[in-house]
Structure 1
Amino acid sequence: MKHILNTRNLTIGYDKKDIVNNLSIEIPAGKITAIVGANGCGKSTILKTIARLLAPKQGQVLLDGKSIHSLSTKEVATQLAILPQNPVAPDGLTVSELVAYGRYPHQKAFSTHSKEDYKIIHWAIESTGLTAFENHPVDELSGGQRQRAWIALALAQKTPILLLDEPTTYLDMGHQLEVLKLIKKLNEQQQRTIVMVVHDLNHATRFADHLICIKNGELYTQGHPIDVLSDQMLKDVFQIEASILIEPKTGLPVCIPTECIGEKNR
């Protein structure tokens, strides 16, 4: 069953300052959605609110038509998993021990892991290509391997919806590609709905099926990458002029920045 996730007239803020205003978006079920926009526009704030880590000032996050804030914590944890920015594991924790935490939402009080839990833990580790490292401490892995371990933790929750907050932050180009290809593979093979905040616009256009573009806390546009990426969007949202090319191997648009409008107007 594919679950429907959307927001309705969402306003989010801290103290008296509103960060996101009147946001209504639809998340395509079974697809990869990337939230893009300039630094500070509210991307991570939106993702945290969808995950119920933040409460909105106004509006609702709806999961299958029900307000996500009306559901129990355990019920939410069995429907969606979130990987925050820069998660840190305790020193010495192994990959298998980390991934095991993903089974807690499915356990009864004071119960231990079942045979089914262990089966899912091993499946999540195998799905992320970490079988050879399952007994290795997480803090001894490479950056890309560590990020895969955290994704395995999220997979072990066995949720139909996966939320990722800038999953390639601080990774080099090779590890970025490694993680993004894994995300694409998980979506294609398991039909999971994946929503990720993406810093690199070219990564978003290549790996996402749907883009949600945010400007100053409001929806600027949304749709397929080839429809969203335009000269005007790049000027309005990112304050740049750029050449937009079609990458011959994928047939998807790529932007090459040529000038910063902010600097040009100084």
Structure 2
Amino acid sequence: MESTVPEPREFQICDRRIDRAVGHCDRARPGNFARSHRIENLGTDKLTCRAFPVSTPTCVVFAVSPLIMLRDVTVRREQTIILNQVSTTIPRARHTAILGPNGSGKSSLLKLLTRDFYPSIDSEGHQGDVQILGQRSWQVHELRRSMGIVSPALDAEFSRGRTGRMTVAEAVASGFTATRLKEFGPAITSEVREAVDHAIETVGMQSFRDKPVERLSTGERRRTMIARAIVHRPAIFVLDEPTGGLDMTAKAKFLEIIDSMTGQQEITLVLVTHHLDEVPPAMRHAVLLDQGTIAFDGLKQDAFTDERISSLFRLPVAIECDSRGWYDVRMRRD
């Protein structure tokens, strides 16, 4: 006898979404739900989706946990506290901006996510808790394959040497393995080639497909880094000060691409910046970092006020939001 479909909740299956209204796996083709995968309840935290006929492999589905969760995390370097008792949660599909001045702890927070830093242990033996994609323990290379990252530092690596001699297509394909050389990239199957072509098209780099990355402009190379970051459709896409070094035209094109990506529910964007004008309209949540502590964690409209931003940057500023939802900031001289 067929099990009852559980109450509508949000589930994840091999990076695919479950239709929350009917409880069917979206591997079922549209209009064919009734004859395709059906959800069976195996308990409160674990469900399975059994395809018919029975010979089809079983898909295991887990209830969605937050993409990122930090609880009471402190990071010390020698005698300096870089992050102090930081707690925040980023659920799936809640694009989030992490904003703060230089020295506020933004880079250290990012390094916690990439496992370059680990929580420090306090005098009472407490270490804090960092969970990424529902896991506390990760092999670093596996974690980085589950994320997409764009930063000026990564961009610089692809501007020179053997890494820079890769073509745009080869550099984008390397995102599957989170490596820097084509020799360590994935086997180029038809599926990989299709994913690479789609990622390149997304950032408008089709005409540069076979051009060495080191011969691109900074703006073109940064767009290639976006394609590399999203080619494997990661659950988390981190942008670390992504427009550094870009001129006005390249920055506008870059932000246009990022804005278009906020409509993709399967990828959650985490933007680390100190520029309000980089935050896309659909990124509605903000975390403000100040001297290693979280000064605010909530709706962007409540974060981006004259008072909060002036206090954060120790500078009197006026915040403006245009009709499209983009913010700008100017210094007050009154």
Q: Contact 1:31 / 1:191 at 8 angstroms: preserved in 2?
A: no
Q: Structure 2 length normalisation: TM-score? A: 0.70
Distance (Å, rounded) in 2 between the aligned partners of 1:111 and 1:142: 26
Listed as ranges, the gaps of 5+ residues in structure 2 are: 1-11, 13-63, 121-126
Identity of aligned residues (%): 29
Aligned pair partner of 1:176 in 248, 251, 254: 251
Greater relative CO (CA pairs within 8 A, separation 6+): 1
1:73 CA displacement: 3.1
Report the alpha carbon displacement of residue 110 of structure 1 after superposing the two structures with TM.
Answer: 9.9
- Residue matched to 1:238: 313
Give the one of 148, 153, 161 matched to 1:86. Answer: 153
Question: How far has the Cα of 1:14 moved from its partner?
Answer: 2.2
Distance in 1, matches of 2:256 and 2:79, equals 40
2: CA distance, partners of 1:74 / 1:252: 36
Tell me the residue number matched to 1:32: 95
Query: Residues 208-247 of structure 1: matches in 2 within 5 Å?
Result: 208-247=283-322
Deviations 1:243-263 (A, max 9, x none): 23342x225554321149xxx
**1:66 equivalent in structure 2:** 135
1:112, CA displacement in angstroms?
A: 2.7
Corresponding position of 1:144: 219
1:53–1:16 distance in 2 versus 1, CA, 3 Å: same
**Helix, strand or coil for the counterpart of 2:279?**
helix
> How many pairs were matched up?
255
2:106 is the counterpart of 1:43:
yes
Structure with a larger share of its residues in helix: 1
TM-score for both structures, normalised by structure 1: 0.86
Q: Which has the larger radius of gyration?
A: 2
C-alpha spacing 1:72/1:215, structure 2 compared with 1 (3 Å): same
What residue is the counterpart of 2:32 in the other structure? none
Q: Give, in angstroms, the shift of residue 100 of structure 1.
A: 1.5
Counterparts of 2:151 and 2:326, CA distance in 1 = 28
CA deviation string 1:109-157 (max 9, x = no partner)? 9973322222211221111111111101112212221101011111123
| Structure 1: runs of 5+ lacking an equivalent | 261-266
State the superposition RMSD in angstroms: 2.5
SS of the residue aligned with 1:188?
A: coil
Stretches of 4+ moved more than 3 A in 1? Answer: 251-254
SS at the partner of 2:204? Answer: coil
> Partners of 1:111 and 1:97 in 2: how far apart?
10
Question: Could you tell me which residue of structure 2 aligns to residue 55 of structure 1?
Answer: 118
1:121 aligns with 2:188: no
Give the residue type in structure 2 aligned to 1:185.
S
Residue 226 of structure 1 contacts residue 252 of structure 1 at CA under 8 Å; is this kept in 2? no
Query: Aligned equivalents of 2:289 and 2:266: distance in 1?
Result: 26
Of the candidates 138, 141, 144, which is equivalent to residue 77 of structure 1?
144
Distance 1:97 1:85, change over 3 A: same
